[in-house]
């Protein structure tokens, strides 16, 4: 059995880690080595679900002050570096913003430990941040660290994930290794609707993280007028229920899911009507339902308050989507052919 010891920066609650640990390729296995995140609840969720017997392997501290030298040798690195400054929402500060340069800590780990491969994840908007210069810089730094890189904008809904979520994922393989990664094809996967994901199988009454959000009478009344797929601005609302919003009208405000399609993107926010709303019932989704749309299994238990859990779920990588990509990496190293597509970045 060929085993890869995996380190993670910005590990989040464990979407990437779950995908890595559950990747199923004969003769190949990915094992947890260490992880880092700065949020206490997030670290507790990760530890509880990924490495309950090795809590000291999760370093809950700010990456700016993290001693990279203490982390230990690894065969692989995953880092979903914070995307705040590369997202299409916000000021798009890129390298000038507080979070922009955080990817560079991943580069430091690559240079120090020289793992055989890595997986880096960010929002699709990173491709156009700083008029494209940010993404070019990040790729060049990865190449300079000694890696062949394979960037691709994954549309996770094409891979059977019940959510429209578009993420830039860069796979890197160390220069001295004879392997060439190919982006796994989405042709093998059937579109999965949000209704299928939430209802099949039914969520048990005693499921963790399944508390319902209390809706105000006004919100319940507003939702009565919003049809599946509509939001507070496209629905025909009575004057007293219309939102008094100036400027941008975000399309996800009080938006109901369309039960015939994958969900729209789950985010970490939750105020002002952004909880994600049920297609039929006059309520927001529970965290467990949101976790279903992020393809976490029901026995993956999130730690912290309801608000903290909502943020953790929204910031995660879809667990099953991560599994697909990690399996493609393992097949690459095992020499097992798989259906693939050209690794150019699709729009």
Long-range (24+ apart) CB contacts under 8 A made by 83-92 are 83/122, 83/123, 83/125, 83/126, 85/129, 86/122, 86/123, 86/125, 86/126, 86/129, 86/134, 87/123, 87/125, 88/123, 88/124, 88/125, 92/125, 92/129, 92/130
- Strand-pair partners of 277: 256, 284
Whether 83 is a known active-site residue: answer yes
What is the secondary structure of 39-88 as a DSSP string?
-HHHHHHHHHHH-TT-GGGEEES-GGG--GGGS---SEEEE----TTTSS
| Active-site option among 11, 43, 51, 83 | 83
SS3 205: coil
Give the Cα separation of 255 and 108 in Å (integer).
41
Kindly state the tokens that stand for 28. Answer: 């190949």
Other CB atoms within 10 A of residue 323 CB: 21
In 3D space, the residue among 303, 320, 315 whose CA is nearest the CA of residue 266 turns out to be: 315
Among all chains, which residue has been given the structure tokens 């796994």? 184
Pairing label, strands 76-79, 58-60: unpaired
Residues labelled catalytic: 83
């Amino acid at each position: 059995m060929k085993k890869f010891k995996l380190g993670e920066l910005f590990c989040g609650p464990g979407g990437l880690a779950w995908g890595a640990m559950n990747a199923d390729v004969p003769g190949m296995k990915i094992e947890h080595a260490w992880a880092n995140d700065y949020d206490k609840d997030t670290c507790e969720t990760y530890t509880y679900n990924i490495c309950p017997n090795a809590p000291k392997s999760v370093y809950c501290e700010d990456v700016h002050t993290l001693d990279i030298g203490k982390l230990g040798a690894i065969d692989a690195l995953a880092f979903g570096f914070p995307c705040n400054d590369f997202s299409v929402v916000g000021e798009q500060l890129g390298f000038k913003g507080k979070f922009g340069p955080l990817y560079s800590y991943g580069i430091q780990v690559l240079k120090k430990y020289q793992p055989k491969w890595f997986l880096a994840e960010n929002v699709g908007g990173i491709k156009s941040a700083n008029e494209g210069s940010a993404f070019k810089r990040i790729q060049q730094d990865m190449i300079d660290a000694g890696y062949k890189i394979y960037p691709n904008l994954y549309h996770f809904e094409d891979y059977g994930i019940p959510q429209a979520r578009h993420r830039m994922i860069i796979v890197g393989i160390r220069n001295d290794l004879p392997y060439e990664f190919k982006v796994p094809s989405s042709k093998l996967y059937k579109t999965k609707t949000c209704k299928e994901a939430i209802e099949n199988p039914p969520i048990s009454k005693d499921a963790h993280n399944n508390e319902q959000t209390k809706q105000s009478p006004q919100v319940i009344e507003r939702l009565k007028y919003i049809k599946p797929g509509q939001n507070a601005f496209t629905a025909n609302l009575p004057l007293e229920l219309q939102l008094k919003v100036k400027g941008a009208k975000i399309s996800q405000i009080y938006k109901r899911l369309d039960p015939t399609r994958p969900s729209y993107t789950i985010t970490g926010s939750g105020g002002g009507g952004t909880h994600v709303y049920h297609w039929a019932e006059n309520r927001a989704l529970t965290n467990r339902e949101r976790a279903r749309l992020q393809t976490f299994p029901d026995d993956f238990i999130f730690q912290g308050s309801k608000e903290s859990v909502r943020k953790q779920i929204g910031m995660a990588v879809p667990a099953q989507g991560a599994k697909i990509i990690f399996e493609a990496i393992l097949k690459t190293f095992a020499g097992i052919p798989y259906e693939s597509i050209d690794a150019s970045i699709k729009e």
